[in-house]
Amino acid sequence: MSFESRNPTTGELIATYPEHTPAEVEQRLQLAWNGWKTWSRAPLEERKAFLVQLAELLEARAEDYGKLIVAEMGKPLGEAMGEVKKSAFGARHFAGDGAAYLETETIPGTPGRIVYEPIGPVFAIMPWNLPFWQVLRFFIPQALIGNSVVVKHAETVQGCALEMENLVRDAGGPAGLYVNLSVQKEVAPQVIADPRIRAVTVTGSVKAGRAVAELAGKAGKKVVLELGGSDPFVVLEDADIAKAVHFGVMSRYSNNAQSCIAAKRFLVAAPVMDEFVQAFVAAAAALKMGDPMLADTKLGPQARADLRAATERQVAAAVAAGAKVVTGGKSPDGPGYFYPPTVLTGLPHDAAVAREEFFGPVALIFPFKTEEEAIQLANDTEYGLAATVFSKDMARARAVAARIECGAVFINDFVRSDPRAPFGGMKGSGVGRELGALGARELTNAKLVWEGS
């Protein structure tokens, strides 16, 4: 068996990659175990120096890696290079400020202290939509901590998967610090159960994450889950509409509208609904869709044919339920998996499709009459990743934000991850945190050391 990588812009086959055999899986798990034994004993300064070198290589190779990302998942080249540079920023951050996250903590009034120690190899199941950043945002803190990683990357971005293993080696990482595992999902239970694996992290669908969590729970292993979202974008009647539209369009359609943390349900106060919709539709329709290698392209293709088909089915279901297509809504003729920037209004809140996550270039816009209704609608989803609130009244915006059930809320800004801040959700969006101080400590052993006289 082998994996195929196809260019979503043309549908053409780029390359095939062989799966690892059972013997190779065993070899790689042992390699990760040995790598942890070596790396966990390396001085902190050595680990920090490795991250600096990692950042330098990412910056030097940003264009090459960006082109590889474009070829395998289709986002515009500028965004792809930005993803690589963001990974470099993350490496530099943890090489600098990250050490403070792991400092020993004293317990006031006692002879005790808490020491944050590495726990061992961590198994990561990673998606295709941010093929460098998703993996490196997980890996970078683990490298600082002293853990090794075993990464099962998405089947369609195996070129990226191999390049990241090479990157870690080129940056001076020891054998076994980063181990790529090219296997089907059916092999994951075996890996999770292996005693050499100490923890598991997943970025993916709710179904996949919960299945992995069940397996990890049976094995008594910690799990971190980042499982997507249907982020509400609340526009109160006193909002700066031009700013809200600008950030809203950016949030919804960047990364080819294939991001877990992104505005997807726009909840707009009734008095400004018409103004917002008119401006939003104009801005969305103006986004140039086309070859992601061209500098002026703002929206590339969806990553796979089945993903575009899923978007088509969801839009059809929304229309059948009463939604109106204000712009877009139909796949263009020709090669590739393109779908235009689409805006839907009038979808009933109780329609089944209204509660689904749209992982394609579709924005749903709903009006609300009262602040209480806005909060109720924002929380009327199984997801709880992030949210946005726009208002010129900061006290009011903070009050609304406090009542939205999510892992992060952005006021007069757009949702995103940042290496300096914790990232993660609640409810169906997952458990645990990545990035920032909380993320750095998430997969450590917080050991109590109590010294008597």
Residues 111 and 235 occupy one common structural domain: no
Residues 90 and 185 occupy one common structural domain: yes
List strand residue ranges (DSSP E) for 258-335, in order: 263-269, 324-327
Residues 209 and 222 occupy one common structural domain: yes
Residues 134 and 249 occupy one common structural domain: no
pLDDT score of 313: 98
Residue 84 has pLDDT above 80, yes or no: yes
Residues 151 and 249 occupy one common structural domain: no
Please choose, from the candidates 21, 23, 3, the residue with its C-alpha nearest in 3D space to the C-alpha of residue 13: 3
On whether residue 66 sits in a domain, the answer given is yes
Query: Tell me: the pLDDT tens digits for 107-149?
Result: 999 999 999 999 999 999 999 999 999 999 999 999 999 999 9
How many helices (H) and strands (E) the chain has is answered by: 15, 18
Residues 394 and 444 occupy one common structural domain: no
pLDDT score of 158: 98
Residues 260 and 360 occupy one common structural domain: yes
On whether residue 416 sits in a domain, the answer given is no
Q: What percent of the chain has pLDDT over 90?
A: 99
Residue 210 three-state SS:
helix
How far is it, in rounded angstroms, from Cα 149 to Cα 121? 5
Q: What percent of the chain has pLDDT over 70?
A: 100
On whether residue 420 sits in a domain, the answer given is no
How many distinct structural domains can be found in the chain? 2
On whether residue 419 sits in a domain, the answer given is no
222-226 vs 199-203, strand pairing mode: parallel
3-state helix/strand/coil string of 227-242: CCCCEEEEECCCCCHH
On whether residue 191 sits in a domain, the answer given is yes
pLDDT score of 270: 98
Mean pLDDT calculated for residue range 418-439: 97
Mean pLDDT calculated for residue range 271-276: 98
On whether residue 333 sits in a domain, the answer given is yes
Mean pLDDT calculated for residue range 394-414: 98
Inter-residue contact 265 to 364 (CB < 8 Å) = yes
CATH number of domain containing 61: 3.40.605.10
pLDDT score of 184: 95
Query: Tell me: the pLDDT tens digits for 214-259?
Result: 999 999 999 999 998 999 999 999 999 999 999 999 999 999 999 9
Residues 441 and 397 occupy one common structural domain: no
Instruction: Dump the DSSP string for 76-109.
Output: -HHHHHHHHHHHHHHHHHHHHTHHHHT--EE-TT
Q: Which residues have a catalytic role annotated?
A: 226, 260
Task: For residue 377, give its domain range.
Answer: 231-411
Inter-residue contact 266 to 364 (CB < 8 Å) = yes
Residues 203 and 237 occupy one common structural domain: no
Mean pLDDT calculated for residue range 355-375: 97
Mean pLDDT calculated for residue range 264-271: 98
On whether residue 418 sits in a domain, the answer given is no
Please choose, from the candidates 321, 308, 386, 387, the residue with its C-alpha nearest in 3D space to the C-alpha of residue 353: 321
Residues 128 and 146 occupy one common structural domain: yes
On whether residue 421 sits in a domain, the answer given is no
Residue 413 three-state SS:
coil
Mean pLDDT calculated for residue range 85-110: 97
User: Which residues are CB-neighbours of 25 under 8 A, at least 6 positions away?
Assistant: 181, 183, 187, 190, 191
CATH number of domain containing 388: 3.40.309.10
Please choose, from the candidates 29, 432, 36, the residue with its C-alpha nearest in 3D space to the C-alpha of residue 193: 29
Residue 267 has pLDDT above 80, yes or no: yes
- The mean predicted confidence, pLDDT, of the chain is 97
Angle between helical axes of 133-145 and 77-96 (0-180°, round to 10): 10
Residue 362 has pLDDT above 80, yes or no: yes
Query: Tell me: the pLDDT tens digits for 379-391?
Result: 999 999 999 999 9
pLDDT confidence tier of residue 89, bands split at 50, 70 and 90: very high
Query: Tell me: the pLDDT tens digits for 51-71?
Result: 999 999 999 999 999 999 999
Q: How far is CA 191 from the centre of its chain?
A: 23
Residues 269 and 381 occupy one common structural domain: yes
Residues 62 and 185 occupy one common structural domain: yes
Residue 372 has pLDDT above 90, yes or no: yes
> What is the pTM assigned to this prediction?
0.97
pLDDT score of 453: 81
Residue 1 has pLDDT above 80, yes or no: no
Query: Tell me: the pLDDT tens digits for 193-206?
Result: 999 999 999 999 99
